Structure 1
Amino acid sequence: MNTSRAAWLFITPALIILGLFFLLPVIAALILSVTDYDLYALADIRNLRFVALQNYWQLLQRPLFWSALGHTVYFVVVGVPLSLFASLGAAMLLNSPLARFKPFFRTALFAPVVTTVVAVAVIWRYLFNTKYGLVNYALDSIGMPTVDWLGDPHWAMPTIILFAVWKNFGYNMIIFMAGLQAIPGDLYEAARIDGASAFAQFRHITLPMLKPTMLMVSILTVSGYFQLFAEPYVMTEGGPLQSTTSVLYLMYEEGFKWWNLGSASAVAFILFVIMFAVTATMLRLSRQGEKA
């Protein structure tokens, strides 16, 4: 048996699984997005009609879609930098030689990642409850006015973003720690001998050496925030006044609340195109930065 045949023999099971559980559903969703597949077609397939790009056109004309897209962009623009800053800061603190009890803090900071998002979202919803939440109780005890965190459209989005950052930054922290530990210590030692300050070491050694890691973490984090669903679903159900409705939440409502599966599939592919464009832009900017 030659090497090529052996390689295909080993990867064939994985290709079959990917084809059955990824490629075929994607093709089926693409077909659904150009039909009016709804509750009537679900009851009788003969009610299914081909509508070409009508689902996409109608979505682009709906104010709710553009509102949901704006909320999603808000999640990404605000949440991604906060998540990167928190994860990189925690990684640098844990990678410091002055840090104590590193295994404990690594476990404690990573624990939110492996907890069930629905369970911790319910806990956060009670913490930020207007009447008996712990956060408002703390504000009231120091004489500050309480806030309707999840009932005020101006505060609901920041509250969800804060929860999402807390829930997910531990994953990026572990990746950053691996990147920091891969930086040769001789570079820092030479910089200290030359009299470089801690900030200068961070700017001229840490950040340049972390560029590949930063790019990967940024792409993963951007993709995750574009697909934000469970947080607004559990904490606010898209409210108040649809102020926290994301694109993925809109897709859920179209598909599983109103049973407009064709429209829901169209939402999914529009989101895919947007994510692909943003990721491609990030990669191109990264390559241009390396050439410069």
Structure 2
Amino acid sequence: MSVAVTGRRRDENSGNPHRDTAALADAGRRRAKRASARRKAVPYLLLAPALLTFAVFKAYPILDSLRISTTTGAGAATRGAGMSNYQRLVHDPLFWQALRNTAEILVVQVPLMLALALLLALGINSALVKWRAVWRLGIFMPAVTGLVATGVMFGFLLDKDSGALNWLLNGVGLGKVDWLGSGSGARMAVVLVLTWHYTGYNAVIYLAGLQGVPKDLYEAAMVDGAGPVRRFRSITVPALRPIILFTVVLSSIGTLQLFDEPYILTRGGPDNATLTVSMYLYENGFHYFDFGYASAIAYALTLLVVILGVVQMRLMGDRDK
């Protein structure tokens, strides 16, 4: 009898072996799930500082400016204005003049700059050019020059009385040109500054694209009797179409947001001839403290950028699709 009692106690103390195995398996699964959840959470934890910074300093101001665009006044006098700021845009002659000035600069400057950039890239990519890295560095240097420094430098170069450019014109028997004192001259001065500053940047992008075009295509075309112009049209341009589209869209967006160069050179003058949309936005926001109208201008400019980008993508996108 004592033996039976002892055996029963041993069974009670040892427990059910199947139940122990199931409990261990459940504990292992729980540990595996916790470890998997921690591994999945690591990327989000690493991204959290960047996402928080973006939310606070980018997303919130963008969304709040939409709210501000429906208000008028400043400080304690701020009140709701509905869509009146956007209606005011339609009847504001200064806004339309700023938009017209920006469009004229864009239509002249972007094609001129990109054509020069492509020519520079073709020249540097030529087999006849040596020290290619030095040339690439040289044409890229203006792009790393500060915009304020660039504007100040060209202000001295284009000065009517003591500028170097008018000194050269006098040297060849031509009269002085009031580059910054006339409307057309001031706009051309802005075009000149933009072209000098950004041509090398785009040329380096084109050069990278040209170096990716297989040389076998050019050799086969030469065997077939294709000249330089035909090779450029049939091989170079199709190969660079995505890069050309990229530079056209990027340059157009940058020109629509033009601010630094005309602000440093002319302050929007003479007689608002170089006033751009971004400058007009700045004046309303930080000179007149009309933040509601300035926010409306900002959203109108954003809409123009989106429309222009979509149109350019449609016109210059992949035609095979």
Range into which the TM-score falls when normalised by the shorter chain: over 0.9
Contact 2:245 2:317 in 1 (8 A): no
**Could you state the TM-score of these two structures normalised by the residue count of structure 1?**
0.93
2:296 counterpart letter in structure 1: A
Matched, 1:24 2:54: no
Contact 1:71 1:243 in 2 (8 A): yes
Task: Give the paired residue count.
Answer: 285
**Could you state the TM-score of these two structures normalised by the residue count of structure 2?**
0.85
**Structure 2 counterpart of 1:161, from 191, 194, 206:** 191
C-alpha change, 1:96 and 1:37, in structure 2 (3 Å) is farther
Q: CA RMSD in A?
A: 1.5
Contact 2:98 2:276 in 1 (8 A): yes
In 1, Cα distance between equivalents of 2:310 and 2:209 = 23
| Cα deviation digits, residues 209-233 of structure 1 (max 9, x gap) | 1111111111110001001100110
Structure 1 runs not aligned, ≥5 long? none
Pairs within 5 Å for 1:113-262? 113-262=143-292
Q: Rg bigger for which structure?
A: 2
C-alpha change, 1:107 and 1:287, in structure 2 (3 Å) is closer
In 2, Cα distance between equivalents of 1:5 and 1:207 = 46
In 1, Cα distance between equivalents of 2:201 and 2:95 = 30
In 2, Cα distance between equivalents of 1:270 and 1:199 = 42
Deviates more, 1:14-23 or 1:245-254: 14-23
Contact 1:34 1:54 in 2 (8 A): yes
Contact 2:159 2:178 in 1 (8 A): yes
C-alpha change, 1:58 and 1:125, in structure 2 (3 Å) is same
2:49 alignment partner in structure 1: 13
In 2, Cα distance between equivalents of 1:6 and 1:209 = 41
Secondary structure, aligned partner of 1:210: helix
2:50 counterpart letter in structure 1: A
In 2, Cα distance between equivalents of 1:74 and 1:93 = 29
In 2, Cα distance between equivalents of 1:37 and 1:201 = 61
2:6 alignment partner in structure 1: none
In 2, Cα distance between equivalents of 1:290 and 1:272 = 30
2:14 alignment partner in structure 1: none
Contact 1:95 1:181 in 2 (8 A): yes
In the TM superposition, structure 1's runs of 4+ consecutive aligned residues that sit over 4 Å from their partners are: 2-7
| Cα deviation digits, residues 10-64 of structure 1 (max 9, x gap) | 44333222222211110111111111143xx2xx3xx210101111111221111
| Cα deviation digits, residues 176-212 of structure 1 (max 9, x gap) | 1111111111111111111111111110000001111
| Cα deviation digits, residues 96-137 of structure 1 (max 9, x gap) | 111122222211111111111111211101111001111111
**Structure 1 counterpart of 2:70, from 34, 46, 51:** 34
| Cα deviation digits, residues 78-111 of structure 1 (max 9, x gap) | 1110111111111111111111222222111111
1:283 alignment partner in structure 2: 313
Per-residue deviation at 1:6? 4.9
Structure 2 runs not aligned, ≥5 long? 1-35
In 1, Cα distance between equivalents of 2:45 and 2:232 = 47
